[in-house]
Structure 1
Amino acid sequence: MADTNIGTSLYAFEPTHIAPAIFAAIIGTSLLVHIFQSFYYRFWRVTFWMFWGGTVFTAGWIMRTLSSYDPDNKNLYIAQTCLVIGGPPIYAAAEYNIMGRLMNYLPMHAIFHPGRVVIVFIYLGALVEALTAAGAAKMAVSKGENISEYILGGKLISISLILQAVVECVFISFIALMHHRASRARMLSPNVRALCIMLYGTSTLVLLRCIFRAIDSFATHTAIDAEQCGSLCRLITNQEWYIYVFEATPMAIYTIWLNVMHPGKYLPRDKFQYLDLDGKTERVGPGWTDHRSQWQTFADPFDIANTIKGTPAHEKFWLQAETWPMATGGSFAQGTASNATRSLSGKKYRNISMKPEGGMA
């Protein structure tokens, strides 16, 4: 590999000082805005992952800035590598939580148990994060010293990228299915449409980042295995601008987009509040009720066994609209409700006094 600096130095180029500082400022500012919004809308339960991802990603670019002034410092190099690569998978987890809340808001169009979105997506995201962190650490620690460990780290990252790309594709297909169902039922209210568009866009940004990282990983490690860095390898590894165009910029747009269209503006804080079949009225129901045992809902969140039989285990409570009280304080579907207003009043929509008209608990 005489034609490249891979394996002989921490950077194959002279790292810029300005670009990482700019992105640290952009991501950090967006993080502060998000923290303010999460307090303002009291929406932490849904968007906590956005805060955590922003913290990790901001720290990554700060470390990258420091590393650019001391490019031979291995500790800084390891820190910036792990944090920059580890931030986006955590960001993606924020989307999964938003989809779970959207399923609670549209239970009649939910693809599976809304309370199991965490199991299906967040845990897969945790696996992606673990593989990413392990791979990045191995690459950073072994660079220039142990080629076999470096290649192993690259393979772990490649696996994590492929897995994350698959998860994002599945996620986009689920959003598209809910979008289609709501549209067909004439329940595509402005807030639901806005959230679907936002989730399409942010997921696409994560997917594009995965594709870039996968090309980078495969090109680099194939070259190492062959002991020759080809044109694609040199193009990616010997120039720094690629990471800012295909990694930093998409994720900066991602975090800004989620701030501009914060889900706290479009969805009720109370997960028991749902959109009625008329596409305008919002009611407070019992939430998703599944008659299976908890372990069955974990093992089969899609309720495949009962769905095949034509007898889903969950209750279709939304078909008994007159049973459930209308939500007070306006409707998100009609743009007349606000989580911020409710937070000032301190009211909660679901309380013990709310009982169905028929006397059911």
Structure 2
Amino acid sequence: MLRPEIDALPDSQIVEVWKMGFEIPDVIGLWVGEGDIPTPQFICDAAADALKAGHTFYTYKQGIPALRQALARYHTRINGVPMAPERITVTSAGMNAMMLIAEMLVSQGDNIVVVSPVWPNFARSIEIMGGTAREVALEPGNDGWRLDLDKLFRAVDARTRAIYLATPGNPTGWLMEHEQMKAVLEFARKRGIFVISDEVYHRFTYDRPVAPSFLEVAAPDDPLFIVHSFSKSWAMTGWRVGWTVMPQRVVGAIDRLIEYNTSGGVQALQEACVVALEQGEPFVKELVERCHQAHDLVVKRLNAMKGVHVVPAPAAFYVMLQVEGMGPSLPFAKRLVKEARVGLAPGSAFGAGGEGHLRLCFASSHERLAKAMDRLEGFFGKR
């Protein structure tokens, strides 16, 4: 018999809509969080060279030293704070980092307070460990999404082990400013709990060069996990390489858990990640500018459609839209696939505060997005 926590795990509503596209020709899928540009050739070549050189054996569980050092230099440059390589652990994807953190923190009956709407996978990690994700919803408005810190702090109780948030957020594009970060950290210190900050979309900001980071307001020994991935900024979703920054006092624990989860990552891929960090800055900037232009195209077109309202967001590569009279978002998203031949993700997939919205991923070519907007305009009509 399966554990009840595993048997009760829900299927992904995003995948439920996505699968419909397998049966309907010519659907433009903007449902998943992935761009349409393949990994740059110079990164692929670095992996191929490492494989040809025979770098195919077991390696350091926390990541090869060259990659941890390159990541430390990256954070020092991007965040403007010194970073010790010893605080960095390379993981088999950002999701793997989240699962390892859940394994470190959550026992049966514990909870983690989760700011939502949010990508649902970390909440499922908490549930796999026998805990509860206690969601606190962002509030949408004409000027964007807002987090009520008093509401967040009231959700913490004696069984809370951490506060989790994604900044910039998926699906909202919301980001937290330094003042709120300081308040959350101070609260966590007093309560003896961790802060888990998913900063995977840190480069996709459209009103500043890079998103604010908890690293910029925290001390090295603060109760803080930062989760990152190579997936988005370097177009490496299929490579499954991520990393996490943490206080040095907990590094031994994650090292032991990696032994029993994956026994470490792939050396050749990690060598390619070093090259991505050292040579990939022009590509990252070009990709972010492409998404910036895509954001402006999509928002302008959507706001001209009848009954459609876009919640403003300064970051990530999604928009959340509300549609007058839509009803539940899952059946409406399915209807769009069938009738408009455009695939969007239902807001209900992202937890509290998500229902009543649809998520559109605009990390695509402008031509593809323009065609999708034409179809949606034909479905909704003009204002």
Decide: shared fold, TM above 0.5: no
- Range into which the TM-score falls when normalised by the shorter chain: under 0.3
TM-score computed with the length of structure 1 as normaliser = 0.25
Structure with more of its chain in strand, by fraction: 2
Find the structure with the greater CA-based Rg: 1
